[in-house]
Structure 1
Amino acid sequence: MAARSNFLLLLAAAIWGLAFVAQRVGMDYLGPFTFNGVRFALGSLSLIPLILFHKNSLFLSTQAHDKFKKDWHAGITAGIILFSAASLQQIGMIYTTAGKGAFITCLYIILVPFFGIFLKQRMTINNWIGSFLAVTGLYFLCVKESLTISYGDCFELVGALFWALHILFIDHVSLKVNTLLLAFFQFLTCSLLSLATALFYETITITGIIQASAPILYGGICSVGVAYTLQIEGQKHASPAHAAIILSMETVFAAIGGYLILNERLGLQEFFGCILIMSGILFSQVKGFQLHHDTSLSKLIKH
């Protein structure tokens, strides 16, 4: 099960990494809230066929009503956290550079085990060393200018807090609710909140949506509908700290996608960063330094 979870999380990271390319192109035609609103709406719609296919087990069982209530409650909460994280990230990018924004956002891989301490989560030495290597790699990969804190950096840092909270919340509820319904209500909530905000702060045009149709389709179906569902499924059998390290690989895939699609070149510093990130992920898999065998947050929080 661990190998399957690792694969699903890594696949999600790859999809999200390539989504940076789609989002960069899409932002040429739409505002950040409009883009998020439309793509998360498309992501929720993409799950409807799967929900209908499993409708008998989801809605017709004797305990369906109680389970459904728990599913949509968890989905709305996850959607609010997701909306907060995605919005803060996009706003921060207006005032800071892409490299610094990506680095500060991915600090969630350190924040996850840090929050775990307050939630009485038992961590391993491997988690901490792997996180340190991964964050160092993210610095070399993303930051090419002096590391100073600006107005936009503050938005990115607060956004990183919400990304960490999202991972921890998904870990807490993933074994208690239906994966499909959790994902559907999460995307729907994020979409509605994003579109409502866009109505007040942005100009939504059909022309812009049509021009950004390709990035929206990838961002909606692949990045949202597929990848976030893979995250929920993958985190069922992976500790949140370990999941955060694997998901940070999205930055590596983003760099590869930028090189192949947008002709963005990688220097020695960037390649060194990729190596450090991979080392961090591999080190977190080593069993020799584990202090505790059970690191699942969902098993450490009383129900």
Structure 2
Amino acid sequence: MQNRNSSNSLVTLLEKNRYIIWSFILVITIIWGYAWVLMKESLDYMGPFTFNAFRFGIGSLTLLGIIGILKLELPAKNEWKHLIIVGILQTSIVFLLVMYGLRFIDAGKSSVLLYSMPIWSSMFASKILGEKLAGVKVIGLTIGMAGLLTILGWDIVLVQDMQVIFGELLIIIAAISWGASNVYYRLKLQDIGKLQVTAFQMLFGTIGIILAAVMMEWGEPIHLNANSIFYVLFTGVLASALCFSLWFLLLSVIDMVTATLSTLLVPIFGLLLSALILGEELTTGILTGSVLIIAGIGIAQLSKRRKE
């Protein structure tokens, strides 16, 4: 009861102070943007699948611990199979492809391509959930797709590096899988608390990642030192578990359109921090495509808000 009262008091505080809300959003999106830098650097110390196994193993255990502390209700037995499917789509497939793709392309570009997810979510929602795509939303999604094609087209025509193009396609497939998981969640798991869904789908997704790491990277060297341990703890505990917990608290006081628009700060910070810390080049193709993707998603979401 005390935990629930504390949570309600914090929600009340957030509702009364919008500056605190936007400060939290800014901090969370910066952390998520910086996580892309660490994901890229982690490849110097261990295989991509092994890093994900450490990251999400620690992250899911932390989330389960938070659920235990808050004494939240566990999902029903008939919901476990849906959590497994979401875990495979949203954690296993997405981050196995993302981390493997990072071997070939820059972290900043990867963050932009993955956060094209709302484009794919909207398309799946239109086909599966029967949501109408009309007017400004179609324009926004078209602009977003043009941004994807700009980045790919630039590398196909000018860079002509098949490894780079392969890595980009992996990230785009990851974005499609993420979009599919969102629609599946709305079909099967919408009545469960978001924190519980995230914790258990991450747990089941981690099992898939561990299996991939054992099959693909067994026997490969793992260099555990101050840097690599920091990367795992930062991305697993802070960026995954704690930031998601705070994010779900924010979702109780802000609408989903504002939340979606806020997440577009992540690829922006991902691009900037990757350029500053890793020295990644921001080419005309990347910048043009990124602006189009972010603007397109923003336009599509703003049209939804106007309709509501």
Q: 1:36: Cα distance to partner?
A: 0.7
Please give the alpha-carbon distance, in whole angstroms, between the structure 1 residues aligned to 2:114 and 2:273. Answer: 19
Query: 2 CA distance for matches of 1:72 and 1:214?
Result: 32
- 8 Å CA contact 1:71–1:178 kept in 2: the answer is no
- Residue 73 (structure 2) pairs with residue 58 (structure 1): yes
Letter in 2 for 1:161: I
Of residues 99, 120, 123 in structure 1, which corresponds to 2:133? 123
Instruction: Work out whether 1:181 is the aligned partner of 2:216.
Output: no
CA gap 1:166/1:245 in 2 versus in 1, 3 angstroms: farther
Of 133, 157, 160, the match for 2:175 = 160
Q: After TM superposition, give the deviation of residue 203 of structure 1 in Å.
A: 3.7
SS in 2 for 1:122: coil
1:81 corresponds in structure 2 to: 89
The one-letter code sitting in structure 2 at the alignment partner of 1:238 is: M
Out of 113, 116, 125, which is 2:122 matched to? 113
C-alpha deviation, 1:152, in angstroms: 4.5
Match of residue 298 from structure 1 = none
Secondary structure of the corresponding residue to residue 145 of structure 1: helix
2:247 and 2:191 mapped to 1: Cα distance?
Answer: 15
Assess if the C-alpha contact under 8 Å between 1:41 and 1:191 holds in 2: yes
Maintained 8 Å contact 1:183/1:229: no
Distance 1:136 1:84, change over 3 A: same
The 5-angstrom pairing of residues 262-281 of structure 1 reads 262-264=278-280, 266=282, 275-277=291-293, 279-281=295-297
- Consecutive unaligned residues of structure 1, counting only runs of 5 or more, are 60-66, 294-303
Aligned to 1:63: none
- The Cα shift of 1:161 comes to 2.1
CA gap 1:281/1:158 in 2 versus in 1, 3 angstroms: closer
Partner of 2:266: 250
Structure 2: gaps spanning 5 or more residues: 1-14
Code of the aligned partner of 2:212: T
CA RMSD between the two structures:
4.0
CA distance in 1, matches of 2:177, 2:304: 32
Aligned ranges 1:123-272 → 2 under 5 Å: 123-137=133-147, 145-146=155-156, 151-172=166-187, 175-203=190-218, 208-210=223-225, 211-229=227-245, 237-238=255-256, 247-264=263-280, 266=282
| CA displacement at 1:79 relative to structure 2 | 1.0
* Bigger proportion of residues as helix: 2
> What's the CA shift for 1:85?
1.9
Say which is worse superposed, 207-216 or 193-202, in terms of deviation.
207-216
- Count matched residues: 279
Structure 1 pair 288–205 and aligned structure 2 pair: CA distance change class (3 A):
closer
TM-aligned CA deviation for residue 283 of structure 1: 2.9
CA contact (8 A) 1:40 1:191 kept: yes
* Paired residues of 2:109 and 2:271 also in contact (CA < 8 A): no
Offset at residue 16 of structure 1 (A): 2.9
Q: Which residue of 2 aligns with 1:46?
A: 62
CA 1:177–1:288 in structure 2 vs 1: closer, same or farther (change >3 Å)? Answer: closer
1:64 maps to what in 2? Answer: none
* Alignment partners' CA distance in 2, 1:170 and 1:177: 10
Q: Answer yes or no: is the 8 Å Cα contact 1:75–1:181 preserved in 2.
A: no
Report the Cα distance in structure 1 between the residues aligned to 2:153 and 2:35, rounded to whole angstroms: 20
Task: Kindly provide the CA deviation profile for residues 88-134 of structure 1, in whole angstroms up to 9, marking residues without a partner as x.
Answer: 2333444x533775565444332222212212112353333333334
Counterpart position of 2:38: 22
Distance 2:78 2:250 in 1: 20
8 Å contact 2:46–2:221 — kept in the other structure? no
Q: Which deviations, in whole Å up to 9, do the C-alpha atoms of 1:121-164 show, x marking residues without a partner? A: 12353333333334445666787533577555554443332121
Letter paired with 1:190: G
AA matched with 1:80: I
Deviation (angstroms), 1:175 = 3.6
C-alpha contact (below 8 Å) 1:138/1:273 kept by paired residues: yes
